[in-house]
Structure 1
Amino acid sequence: MNPAHRVPVASRVYTPAPGEASDVELMPAGDVTESVVRVGGTIRRPHQPQSLAVGEYLDWLEDAGFEGSPRFLGRDTQGRDVLTFVPGQCAEARPESWVQSEDLLVSVARLVRRLHTASAGFVPHAHPFPRSPFPRRPVRPNPTDAAGLICHLDVTPQNVVVRDGLAAGLVDFDLAGPSTALHDSFNTAMHWVPLRDPADAWPGWEDRDPFRRLRIFADAYGWTEQERRRVPDAGIEAAALSCERMRHNAATLGGGWARMWQDGVGGLISRRRAWLEANVQPLVAALTR
């Protein structure tokens, strides 16, 4: 679509096309956002404070030629956000064995790199991302990092759409906002390697080698030598900040944030931090040898 002829996101009203499928399918609940449904070729989600900022971002990605994200179509008669459905398979809450594929891991890293390339230059004007009540500090900013790069920030196995065994798209941009490419790519690796205390391994993942998988991700994304050496300390700092933010959100926002905190996410993050602290040198060696 020619951006000059695009209806502003705040003015878009979604009107179903004649004969459009109307069957409603409840989609898996996310950690925070619930009541997401699929209606025909669309996804309907509760409208949120960041929805219009996300809508602008998705417009930018479309104009940049990034095909791995949904398109923002507007709001329906119930006030819900309407986005295009991205077909494919996503992992369950406890990722299945097929998620362990190294080919899939490589494709995830390359998809996130393409996202960052497509995001470069986007500055939200009409609808800035809401300021978080808790500081959204990127981990260890580097002078060479793009300042304020808009990133996904939640590239979990549950938010990556897989087709034919490879990452084809990203969904759930609820946490999108300004950060750095290193922070977003490390956060992705954290979920996909995964980087966590072995005691917290998902069933069937106990024998996965996190050092090998992290190196595979780093090579596929294209981390520089300097970035590879920064990763462990950046991960430790990110874990500390994540624990603070989760505690804050659980106390002030409730809902899914409170449920995750009650389920022990704070302990999981603290154990991840301790594991990273204990493995700084092996991680650097795996990334740089």
Structure 2
Amino acid sequence: MPESPLPGGFVNAVVRVGDTVRRPASAHTEFVGDLLNLLEAGGWNGAPRYLGVDDKGREVLSYLDGHVAWEAGQPASVASDESLGAVARLVREFHDLTAGTRLAGDHEVVCHNDLSPKNTVYRPAGGALRPAAFIDWDLAAPGARIHDIAHVCWQYLGLGPAVADVGEASRRMRLIADTYELSDRQRQRLVVTVLWWQDRCWRGIETAADAGDAAMIRLRDAGVVREVQRAYQWVSDHQTALERALR
């Protein structure tokens, strides 16, 4: 069957073949397959189904129809409070399904580790686009619930210099925390964990690019390192205001 490249992929070449998606296999393929099978067995529809490996050695996943928010300009409903709440609920659902399982090991849950609008499938609901599923699970690994929620706050709120209203960003961060039902202790660590992600991100790109990783070299050349460093500085500058809103 013909293959059609899917837009938005900067690191991996991902194609659609009929009702399936094919992406390069990795050392994490077996874990991702087990995770997606676990979510399917739990009756959760917020992730693609794992269908094995094709004759080219690529992962085969079910294709999820809908709108993936990979471009900068998006309909207002994608970033609405209703959509933010729906994202938080979806994350809570798959976290709860993985808690206490073999895949989580001695960690709280299995984390997606790359949650963002670009990895979210939105579908019409009540006349507006709402998040329905997450894609690109290749970085999934055992971790703490707070890791995914901090990444959600960073990516879905666009925490960084482009934020015009710190008060509004603080309110929306509180909305995510409230909807997920973070504990008081988790709320105290949320902003620090956003900073941890941002620091880890730019340093990881630099290290991998220096080692010759072609995808990371492209990211660095595209200015991503400097962009994340500026986001880190913005969150650090407004840390007190963001933390106050979560109390």
Q: TM-score, normalising length from structure 1?
A: 0.77
Could you tell which deviates more after superposition, 175-184 or 86-95? Answer: 86-95
Query: How many positions carry a matched residue from both structures?
Result: 241
Which residue does 1:12 correspond to in 2?
none
Provide the rounded CA distance (Å) in 2 between the counterparts of 1:207 and 1:87: 34
Q: Could you report, residue by residue, the CA deviation over 1:224-270 in whole angstroms, capped at 9, with x for unpaired residues?
A: 22222222222223322222212112222522211111222221222
Report the structure, 1 or 2, having the larger helix content.
2
Which of 139, 159, 162 is the matching residue for 2:122? 162
Report the structure, 1 or 2, having the larger strand content.
2
Which residue does 1:60 correspond to in 2?
38
Which residue does 1:274 correspond to in 2?
233
Provide the rounded CA distance (Å) in 2 between the counterparts of 1:229 and 1:179: 18
Give the C-alpha shift of residue 156 in structure 1.
0.9
Q: TM-score, normalising length from structure 2?
A: 0.89
Q: Could you report, residue by residue, the CA deviation over 1:109-130 in whole angstroms, capped at 9, with x for unpaired residues?
A: 11111110111133249xx9xx
The verdict on how the C-alpha distance between 1:46 and 1:238 changes in structure 2, with shifts beyond 3 A counting, is closer
The yes-or-no answer on 1:258 pairing with 2:237 is no
The aligned runs of 1:61-80 (5 Å cut-off) are: 61-80=39-58
Q: Which runs of 5+ in 1 are unaligned?
A: 1-21, 129-145
The yes-or-no answer on 1:47 pairing with 2:25 is yes
Which of 76, 81, 96 is the matching residue for 2:59? 81
Provide the rounded CA distance (Å) in 2 between the counterparts of 1:180 and 1:95: 32
Contact 1:60 1:122 in 2 (8 A): no
Which residue does 1:110 correspond to in 2?
89
The verdict on how the C-alpha distance between 1:122 and 1:31 changes in structure 2, with shifts beyond 3 A counting, is farther
Which residue does 1:38 correspond to in 2?
16
What is the root-mean-square deviation in Å for CA atoms of aligned residues?
Answer: 2.1
Q: Aligned with 1:61: secondary structure?
A: helix
Which residue does 1:239 correspond to in 2?
198
Which of 130, 148, 151 is the matching residue for 1:187? 151
Give the C-alpha shift of residue 23 in structure 1.
4.3
| Paired amino acid for 2:102 | V
Provide the rounded CA distance (Å) in 1 between the counterparts of 2:210 and 2:35: 29
Which residue does 1:197 correspond to in 2?
161
Which residue does 1:10 correspond to in 2?
none
Which of 170, 174, 184 is the matching residue for 2:138? 174
Provide the rounded CA distance (Å) in 2 between the counterparts of 1:107 and 1:124: 25
Contact 1:57 1:122 in 2 (8 A): no
Q: Which runs of 5+ in 2 are unaligned?
A: none
Contact 2:84 2:156 in 1 (8 A): yes
Give the C-alpha shift of residue 160 in structure 1.
0.6
Give the C-alpha shift of residue 59 in structure 1.
1.0
Contact 1:155 1:170 in 2 (8 A): yes
Provide the rounded CA distance (Å) in 2 between the counterparts of 1:279 and 1:108: 24
Provide the rounded CA distance (Å) in 2 between the counterparts of 1:238 and 1:80: 29
Provide the rounded CA distance (Å) in 2 between the counterparts of 1:234 and 1:46: 30
The verdict on how the C-alpha distance between 1:253 and 1:156 changes in structure 2, with shifts beyond 3 A counting, is farther
The verdict on how the C-alpha distance between 1:174 and 1:229 changes in structure 2, with shifts beyond 3 A counting, is same
Q: Aligned with 2:142: secondary structure?
A: strand
Percent sequence identity is 32
Runs (4 or more) in structure 1 with deviation over 3 Å come to none
